[in-house]
A and B are shown apart, each in its own frame.
Chain A
């Protein structure tokens, strides 16, 4: 390995490879943060990987009452897909099933100045079966959909921005407990504005590669190079000596810069929390247009 060292952590001389994605940002409010969080968790469920879930989504951040359009506690959610239409479809499905249904919620567009939009309330209003109504407030149209508890208020459309998906860090340590602790510390440091970490708790243990060695029909299969138990079974292992567990943190961000700085925060947090080894996953640089070399993240945030 010819990377560098941060404390006791070896940083591999490699890079994360990421792709352009489109994203929407929604602000879900409710009578309490608890209910806003319930809706946000439900909406971002089963959205870990675009390969299997058609989108990647996560809670971005909690918002105080002073930061939301209706003055109630809120949760900002980011949802990524491969194209604008994909974002629109997934947002419509998920708001319809997970936010409209959740007590006391309202749903607002978190990207009001985006160049592109996709319909949300404009489509969802039909649930109102003709009893729905709309109001234009401050130049923006909102739909009022009558429900059993009162009314669900939802924005007419959502902005769709250009983001970056698939940034990542891979964190290894001598045992699973140490690797997980370091990965958790990294996640804690990485979460924030403009960032979605779509896997459970922000961490994925089943990093994948494109395609498979044994099948032509699989879109993805286990990353055998980073599986410690296969260290001697494969010729191209990337698991260093002394490392017995690795976790990946996949990052979707609203910009290349957001992903880079998120990786920087995560790398240094992992090093400070006992990681033995930090590396990143890529596809040889042939598939993704965004490359994030770990050597560029040496400076602490």
Chain B
């Protein structure tokens, strides 16, 4: 049995969902899971008050969160192993500073997906985040390692101060992407005006991105064959940093040929 938390109704205030990660819940009884306290606005709420709990006590390293969780921030934040499957939208900071495992969101994610906390040296340091819908602003900000794949678009400022790692947005990366990016990869499945601190380097078929797109497809996103076979423009930046980051933009006008 997979531990499944099904939202009963919208919480009265925004909730910090960070405690709901597989490594903390693995093997706990249903009553123990229900008793976990979550910060809800200026107050606290028990998991059992917010969710129906089923499948507790199992050994599977997997957690399902079902319902509209837009008022839940920090879902999957700091997780280092296991798998979270969210059946619905999530709030901000999902997967923030995640170190490993898989966070799969069947819906939209708000701002700072997989990002670094303010003042932190690095954001996500490992693992995979897959969002079927759109992601908000500053997706992957401060990211050091790992993969963020978005089926739709990201908001503005994706990859801000990114150290390394990969952000893929099949529906397109938003404006002002990759500012102060050092070694990270941002891949946009739609046309995009690169920031002035990026310069065009080449048009080619990036083999690593092809492998990553196959991985993303295996994780459940719909990846058009044209993206796999086609050519991408590589823009190098941020030239105010190392110029070792890259913005890969699918050559849509030429159908990737």
A interface residue numbers (CB < 8 A to B): 69-71, 106, 133, 135-138, 142, 144, 149-153
Contacts and interface: CB of A to CB of B under 8 A. Distances in A.
A249 to B, nearest CB: 37
Contact of B183 (A69, A106, A133, A142): A133
B202 A135 contact: no
Top-8 shortest CB links A-B: A153-B207, A150-B204, A135-B208, A138-B215, A137-B211, A144-B208, A106-B207, A137-B215
Contacts of A137: 147, 208, 211-212, 215
A142 B214 CA distance: 14
A70 B208 CA distance: 9
Secondary structure of the A contact surface, majority rule: strand
B145 A136 contact: yes
B210 A71 contact: yes
Contact of A150 (B145, B185, B207): B207
Contacts of B166: 135
Contacts of B206: 150-151
A70 B204 contact: no
B205 interface: yes
Interface residues of B, number: 21
A144 B234 CA distance: 14
A142 B206 CA distance: 13
Interface string B161-190: 000001000000000000000010100000
Contact of A153 (B145, B183, B211): B211
B228 interface: yes
B208 A151 contact: yes
Interface in B106-164: 126, 145-147
Nearest to B245: A133
A144 B246 CA distance: 13
Contact of A135 (B205, B212, B214): B212
A144 B210 CA distance: 12
Interface in B57-104: none
B244 interface: yes
Contact of A142 (B185, B208, B244): B208
Interface string B209-223: 011101100100000
A151 B207 contact: yes
B244 A150 contact: no
B100 to A, nearest CB: 9
Nearest to A105: B207
A133 B244 contact: yes
Contacts of A138: 215, 218
13 contacts: A69-B211, A69-B214, A71-B214, A133-B183, A135-B166, A136-B147, A138-B215, A150-B207, A151-B204, A151-B206, A151-B207, A151-B208, A152-B207
Given A144-B207, A144-B208, A153-B208, 12 more contacts: A70-B211, A71-B214, A133-B183, A136-B126, A137-B147, A137-B212, A142-B208, A150-B206, A151-B204, A151-B207, A151-B208, A153-B207
A144 B183 CA distance: 13
A230 B9 CA distance: 93
